[in-house]
Amino acid sequence: MEQITINRYRNQDLGSLRIDDVGRNVRLAGWVDSIRKLGGVTFLVLRDRYGKTQIVLNKEFIELNKEDVISVSGKVVERTSKNPNMPTGDIEVVAESIEMLGKCTEQLPFEIKNSQNVAEDIRLKYRYLDLRADYNQKMLKLRSDLLLFIREYMHSQNFMEVQTPILTASSPEGARDFLVPSRLNPGKFYALPQAPQQFKQLLMVSGVDRYFQIAPCFRDEDARADRSPTEFYQIDMEMAFATQEDVFEVIEGLYRAIFDKFAGVKDIEFPRISYKDAISDYCTDKPDLRNPLKVVDVTDIFKDTTFSVFQGKTIKCIKAKTDSKPRKFYDKLTEFLKSREASGLAYFVVNENEELSGGISKFVSDNEKQLLKNVTKFEVGDSLFFIADEKDRAIKFTNVLRNELGSELGLIDENDYKFCWIVDFPFFEKDDDGNIAFSHNPFSLPQSSIEDIKKAPYDTLAYQYDLVINGYESLSGAVRNHDQNMMVELFKLAGYDKDVVVNKFPALYNAFSYGAPPHAGAAPGFDRLMMLLTHNTFIRDVYAFPMNKNGQDPLCNAPNVVDEKLLRDVHIKLLDE
């Protein structure tokens, strides 16, 4: 049981009194959650982070408002009208004295219990009120418990917790940095770390063979429902003398332990899907495996089509059991895709005797119908949905369609969790100008020799991996390339000479000259993990004090203008608009 501080204000929390406590004299303290008058008797519900207790006022005390903070002394009695929805619902406390500790003098901007339905900026401006709500108190408690659990688990696996710098050098890779001007070094800037990537690799060179930390990371990115626009936390870890399999073993053990304790999920499976197969079967490298629908590429089937919409396009197909859905179901899907900037949606329905009807059925030849049946195994009651577009757009919008179909057809169990590793990412890709470019992390280890890479760079795979849960990327990681010569050669292929590697990444490059062990690691996203465990749609709801979608803090009015003297101290002059 959690312990409270016992003093003149309280000797008991508000969540633990039970029928066995009848007859006790107690002191309680908390916020007035509700006030109800019945005849000459007033009933209060008092609230703290541990729970709620009903207080009975049989006489006039001080005037009270909701959200006043008070201390109550009284005797525990059995309730005549019990409340099965409250853990303390078998008892109540008859007040003998009340002390006002903090008066609520302003009208509340919203009802605490309904704060989830309030506009975002109002909630964030009064976040200290929003956090009083039961669901936010539970979220904060879960976050605290999860942090402790992860730390204890990682220590049990012989990992050492090390804090890495918050002020560091700007990185030329990844998202935009948050820059911090240096007062003592005019014209120069620190950057807040996008991740402790270089430092954790340096720790491997330093002899720390198993490192972790709950690391704050800062990226100047646009907000998304599942991504903060400014900062986030990750469970950063790295292992020396380790392979990809060693990392998988640690991570799978950690996630099994977390989801067993905090979600009651046991027997988790971690299937491995290659990046190539993920794009082929799901049109995404973040597939939600709760959704059973798969994608088939039918471009070749329609290579001789007379249907102009399909001509010269990449064509993706999804088969789904729709039975007798009305026309408006298909119209709604079409409008949904168009609202996401897709060109449209093509479909047909398989009726009795496997006759095709609706949508584009009249444009499908008998030969095309047979070929489609061979690859999709369609049956009566199925619908076939098609996205036809340029390759990248076809992949993008087929993923959107698959997710929407899974939702509209009720195929996804919202209480389920499905995991998978996405492995074997391509090391290189073509940029917009047709040149060789790094696909993801340029410091991951390729699965081929440098000689083979030079012969077929686009066939090169990386020891790079993501852990996906319910369609969300929960973790990214890689086996690191600790070979200086290979590093230089890989950057050369991407159009960068040796000076770029040496000057942009001096710490890593130089450290690898002094004996670097093979190493690998990963970085699970802590906030996204919280979002999954709490079934939240918006990641902001798992932070104590989040930013809004524009990267602003309405509570503290940040970002804000600063005094000109402060700017002069750090050698900055603002340009006139």
Tell me what pLDDT residue 276 has: 97
Gyration radius of the chain over CA positions? 30
Tell me what pLDDT residue 537 has: 86
Mean pLDDT within 392-405: 97
How many alpha carbons lie under 13 Å from residue 119 in its C-beta half-sphere? 5
The larger pLDDT score, comparing residue 4 to residue 410, is at 410
Mean pLDDT within 234-257: 98
| Percent of residues, the chain, with pLDDT higher than 90 | 89
Tell me what pLDDT residue 36 has: 95
Q: Mind listing the domains of the chain with CATH numbers?
A: 19-102 (2.40.50.140), 134-241+522-569 (3.30.930.10), 291-408 (3.30.1360.30), 419-515 (no CATH)
pLDDT value at 540 more than 70: yes
Tokens of 16: 């633990």
Tell me what pLDDT residue 322 has: 95
* C-alpha to C-alpha distance for 162 and 212, rounded to whole angstroms: 6
Q: How confident is the model at residue 505 (pLDDT cuts 50, 70, 90)?
A: confident
φ and ψ at residue 214, rounded to 5 degrees: -85, 95
pLDDT value at 519 more than 70: yes
pLDDT digits (tens, 9 = 90+) for 17-46: 999 999 999 999 999 999 999 988 999 999
* C-alpha to C-alpha distance for 193 and 178, rounded to whole angstroms: 8
Q: How confident is the model at residue 172 (pLDDT cuts 50, 70, 90)?
A: low
Q: What is the mean pLDDT of the chain?
A: 95
Q: How confident is the model at residue 77 (pLDDT cuts 50, 70, 90)?
A: very high
Sequence-distant (≥ 6) Cβ neighbours of residue 331 within 8 angstroms = none
* C-alpha to C-alpha distance for 457 and 452, rounded to whole angstroms: 8
Q: Are 468 and 286 in contact (CB under 8 A)?
A: yes
* C-alpha to C-alpha distance for 507 and 202, rounded to whole angstroms: 8
At 430, the amino acid letter reads K
557: left (phi over 0), alpha (psi -120 to 50) or beta: left
